C-alpha cells in the first residue's frame, strides 16, 4: 500500500508542478503585456506633448521607430501620418471604432507565432489620434533570475509537499500496520491488544470501530470458549459415544467415549465421512435415509460391529433456530449395550438352567412318589430304593437352592460384611475333615502346606469357608482314583496367595473362559452324576471379587487343574 501511495503522490506532484508552471507562465505573460501596454500609452502621451510644441511630426515618428522598433501612426485632422513602420490599417480601424467610446483603447492580436499589442489614444477634442503597435514575446524578460526564482519556489513547494505527504503516508501506513498487527494477534487468539490512535479523524473512527469490534469479538470468543468447555466437560462425562456430522456426512465432533466404543483412539476422524470410519450396512442405510428425508424425528436401532459389540444407535437432527429451524447436521449417539445383551443372555440362560435343574429332581421325586402312592410296589427293597432316590434328589434340590441363595447373597451384599480374624490352618483342617469320607471313596490324598503355619486372614468366615470347600470338593470330585489334591497357602506382604491343585481330568482350553459362568459344565452328564449344581465355581468367582481378589486357572486335560488365587490386603497385621 505504501508503494501505491508513493506512486500516487509522484503522479499528483508532477501534475501539480506542471499546472503550477503553466499558471506561473500565464501570470508572468499577463504581467509583461501589462508593462508593454503601459509603456505604449506612455509613448503615446509623449507624442501628444511633442505635437503641442513641435511641427516635425514625421521626423519624430521615424526617430521613435528607430529607437523602439515599434510601429506608430498618427491621424491628425483626418489625415494619417505614418512612420517608416506604420500600424496596419486593420488595427487602426479596430482601435478607431473603440476610441469613439473612450479616449484610450488597446488590443492584442495573435497571428501564428506573432503576438502584437496595439494601443490607441485620442486627444480630448478627437482631433488627433495616436496608434502604436509592438510585437512581443510572452517569455520576454524571463531570464536567469526569473528561472532561479521559479526553481527555488518549485523546490520549496516540492520539499514542503514531500514532507507533508511523507507525514501523511507515515501516519496512514503506521495506523494500517498497527491494525494489521492487532488483526494478526486476534487471529492467533490474543484479544487483549488494542490500537492506540490520538487523532479524531476518519482513521480515528476506523480505529474506534475496530477496537469496539475486537472487544465484542473477545466477549463472544470467551462465551464460546466457556460454552465449549462446558460442552467438552459434558461430552467427557457421558458414557455414551457422541458423534456430530454436517449435512454432507462429515464428522465435525466426536467424544472420547465414541472413540473408545468404536476403537478409534489413535485415529484422526474429524472432517472424514462417517461411513469411512464406521463401515456398517445398517448404519449406512439408516443414516442415508435420515439425511435425504430431512426428517426431524428421532431414530433408534441396533447394529453389530466386527469387534463383537452391539450398539444402540440414536439419530437426532441439529436444528439452527436462526435459519428458520433448518437442519444443518445430525447428532448420532452410540450406547454400547454389549454388556447388557450379555447380562440378558446370562439371565435368560440362568432362568432356563434353574428351571431345568429344578424340574429334573422334582420330576424324579414326583414320579417315585406317585408310584409309591398308587401302592403298586409290594417289594420292601424296591420301596426302600425309591425312597433313597427321593432322598438323594431332595438333597440335590436342597444343594441347588442353597447354592442359588448363596450366590444371590454374595452378589447383593458386598459391603458391611462381618469380618473375623481366621486361622487358615484350622479352617482347612475342618474342611478336609468334612470332605474326608468323599476323598476316601476315591482314595484321594489331600496335602496341605501353609507358610507360615499360624497364618491368619481377615475375612467373612462363611465366605472364606465356602471358597475353600468348593475348590477342595471340586479337586476331589473331578480327580482320578488314587489322585492328589495339594493346598498351598502363603503370605506375600499383606496379600494371601492360595493354590488348590489336583491331578484330575483337567479342563480343555476352550472351556476355561466360560468355566465361571452359572450352570456351565464341561461334561454335563458327568457333573450331574457327581452331584454338581454348576454353581460352585461361579460362587468362588463372586467371593473372590467381593474380596478384591484375582483368580487364574492353569489346566491341562489328563494332567490336572490348578486354581491360583490372590486376596489383596486381607492379612492379619499381627502375624
Q: Which domains are seen in the chain, by residue range?
A: 2-142 (3.30.450), 146-222 (no CATH), 239-336 (3.30.450.20), 341-396 (1.10.287.130), 415-567 (3.30.565.10)
Nearest Cα to 274, choosing from 199, 334, 234, 185? 334
Query: Mean per-residue pLDDT for 267-285?
Result: 78
SS3 letters across 427-464: HHHHHHHHCHHHHHHCCCEEEEEEECCCCEEEECHHHH
Residue 483: helix, strand or coil by DSSP? coil
Q: Kindly tell me the burial class for residue 120, based on how many C-beta atoms sit within 10 Å of its own C-beta (0-12, 13-18, 19 or more).
A: buried
Residue 105: helix, strand or coil by DSSP? strand
Question: Mean pLDDT of all residues in the chain?
Answer: 78
Residue 189: helix, strand or coil by DSSP? coil
Query: Mean per-residue pLDDT for 516-525?
Result: 68
pLDDT band at 59 (very low <50, low <70, confident <90, very high): confident
Query: Mean per-residue pLDDT for 128-137?
Result: 80
Helical residues (DSSP H) of 188-264, grouped into ranges: 202-237, 256-261
Q: Is the pLDDT of residue 564 over 90?
A: yes
State the pLDDT at residue 244: 87
For 77-81, 175-179, 244-248, which range has the lowest pLDDT when averaged over its residues?
77-81
- pLDDT tens digit sequence for 477-499: 888 899 999 999 998 878 889 99
Q: Which is higher by pLDDT, 350 or 220?
A: 220
Residue 415: helix, strand or coil by DSSP? coil
Q: Is the pLDDT of residue 87 over 80?
A: no
What share of the chain in percent tops pLDDT 90?
5
Nearest Cα to 568, choosing from 500, 497, 499? 497
State the pLDDT at residue 562: 92
For 76-85, 236-245, 256-265, which range has the lowest pLDDT when averaged over its residues?
76-85
- pLDDT tens digit sequence for 399-453: 777 777 777 777 666 566 788 888 988 899 988 888 888 888 889 999 999 988 8
Q: Is the pLDDT of residue 137 over 70?
A: no
Exposure string of 488-512, with b = 16+ CB inside 10 Å and e = fewer, is bbebeeeebebbbbbbbbbbeeeee
Task: Quote the CA–CA distance of 257 and 265 in Å, as a whole number.
Answer: 9
pLDDT band at 524 (very low <50, low <70, confident <90, very high): low
pLDDT band at 575 (very low <50, low <70, confident <90, very high): very low
Cβ(422)–Cβ(457) below 8 Å: yes
Residue 325: helix, strand or coil by DSSP? coil
State the pLDDT at residue 158: 76
Most confident by average pLDDT, 228-232, 334-338, 393-397, 440-444: 440-444
- pLDDT tens digit sequence for 153-208: 778 877 887 777 777 777 777 777 777 777 787 777 776 777 776 667 777 777 78
Q: Is the pLDDT of residue 65 over 90?
A: no
Task: Quote the CA–CA distance of 433 and 488 in Å, as a whole number.
Answer: 17
- pLDDT tens digit sequence for 277-328: 777 777 777 777 776 665 555 566 666 666 677 878 888 877 776 665 677 7
Partners of 309 in the beta sheet?
305
Nearest Cα to 48, choosing from 102, 101, 127, 112? 127
Q: Are strands 484-492 and 445-451 parallel, antiparallel or unpaired?
A: parallel
Amino acid at each position: 500500500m505504501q508503494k501505491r501511495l508513493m506512486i500516487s503522490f509522484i503522479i499528483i506532484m508532477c501534475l501539480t508542478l506542471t499546472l503550477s508552471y503553466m499558471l506561473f507562465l500565464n501570470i508572468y505573460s499577463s504581467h509583461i503585456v501589462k508593462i508593454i501596454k503601459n509603456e505604449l500609452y506612455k509613448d503615446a502621451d509623449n507624442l501628444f506633448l511633442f505635437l503641442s510644441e513641435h511641427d516635425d511630426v514625421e521626423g519624430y515618428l521615424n526617430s521613435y521607430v528607430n529607437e523602439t522598433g515599434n510601429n506608430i501612426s498618427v491621424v491628425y485632422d483626418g489625415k494619417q501620418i505614418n512612420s517608416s513602420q506604420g500600424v496596419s490599417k486593420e488595427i487602426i480601424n479596430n482601435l478607431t471604432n473603440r476610441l469613439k467610446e473612450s479616449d484610450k483603447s488597446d488590443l492584442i492580436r495573435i497571428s501564428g507565432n506573432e503576438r502584437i499589442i496595439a494601443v490607441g489614444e485620442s486627444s480630448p477634442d478627437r482631433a488627433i489620434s495616436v496608434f502604436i503597435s509592438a510585437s512581443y514575446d510572452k517569455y520576454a524578460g524571463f531570464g536567469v533570475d526569473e528561472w532561479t526564482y521559479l526553481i527555488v519556489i518549485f523546490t520549496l513547494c516540492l520539499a514542503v509537499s514531500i514532507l507533508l505527504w511523507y507525514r501523511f503516508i507515515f501516519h496512514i501506513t503506521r495506523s494500517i500496520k498497527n491494525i494489521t498487527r492487532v488483526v494478526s494477534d486476534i487471529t492467533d487468539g490474543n484479544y487483549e491488544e488494542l490500537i492506540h490512535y490520538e487523532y479524531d479523524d476518519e482513521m480515528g473512527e476506523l480505529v474506534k470501530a475496530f477496537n469496539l469490534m475486537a472487544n465484542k469479538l473477545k466477549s463472544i470468543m470467551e462465551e464460546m470458549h466457556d460454552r465449549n468447555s462446558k460442552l467438552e466437560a459434558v461430552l467427557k462425562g457421558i458414557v455414551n459415544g457422541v458423534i456430530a456430522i454436517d449435512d454432507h456426512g462429515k464428522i465435525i465432533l466426536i467424544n472420547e467415549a465414541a472413540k473408545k466404543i468404536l476403537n478409534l483412539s489413535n485415529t484422526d476422524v474429524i472432517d472424514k465421512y462417517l461411513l469411512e470410519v464406521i463401515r456398517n450396512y445398517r448404519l449406512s442405510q439408516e443414516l442415508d435415509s435420515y439425511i435425504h428425508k430431512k426428517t426431524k424425528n428421532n431414530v433408534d436401532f441396533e447394529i453389530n460391529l466386527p469387534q463383537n459389540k452391539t450398539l444402540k444407535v440414536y439419530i437426532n437432527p441439529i436444528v439452527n433456530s436462526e435459519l428458520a429451524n433448518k437442519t444443518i447436521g445430525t447428532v448420532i449417539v452410540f450406547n454400547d449395550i454389549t454388556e447388557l445383551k450379555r447380562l440378558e443372555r446370562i439371565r435368560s440362560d440362568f432362568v432356563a438352567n434353574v428351571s431345568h435343574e429344578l424340574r429334573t429332581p422334582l420330576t424324579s421325586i414326583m414320579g417315585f412318589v406317585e408310584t409309591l402312592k398308587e401302592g403298586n410296589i409290594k417289594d420292601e427293597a424296591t420301596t426302600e430304593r425309591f425312597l433313597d432316590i427321593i432322598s438323594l434328589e431332595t438333597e440335590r434340590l436342597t444343594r441347588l437352592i442353597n447354592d442359588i441363595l448363596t450366590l444371590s447373597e454374595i452378589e447383593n451384599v458386598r459391603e458391611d460384611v462381618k469380618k473375623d480374624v481366621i486361622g487358615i490352618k484350622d479352617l482347612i483342617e475342618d474342611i478336609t475333615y468334612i470332605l474326608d469320607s468323599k476323598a476316601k471313596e476315591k482314595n484321594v490324598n489331600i496335602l496341605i502346606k501353609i507358610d507360615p503355619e499360624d497364618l491368619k486372614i481377615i475375612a467373612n468366615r462363611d465366605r472364606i469357608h465356602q471358597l475353600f470347600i468348593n475348590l477342595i470338593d471340586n479337586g476331589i470330585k473331578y480327580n482320578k482314583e488314587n489322585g492328589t489334591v495339594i493346598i498351598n497357602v502363603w503370605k506375600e506382604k499383606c496379600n494371601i496367595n492360595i493354590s488348590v491343585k489336583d491331578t484330575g481330568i483337567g479342563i480343555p482350553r476352550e472351556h476355561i473362559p466360560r468355566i465361571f459362568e452359572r450352570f456351565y459344565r464341561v461334561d454335563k452328564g458327568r457333573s450331574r452324576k457327581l452331584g454338581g449344581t454348576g454353581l460352585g465355581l461361579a460362587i468362588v468367582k463372586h467371593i473372590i471379587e467381593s474380596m478384591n481378589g484375582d483368580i487364574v486357572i492353569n489346566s491341562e486335560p489328563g494332567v490336572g487343574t490348578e486354581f491360583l488365587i490372590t486376596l489383596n490386603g486381607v492379612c492379619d497385621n499381627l502375624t
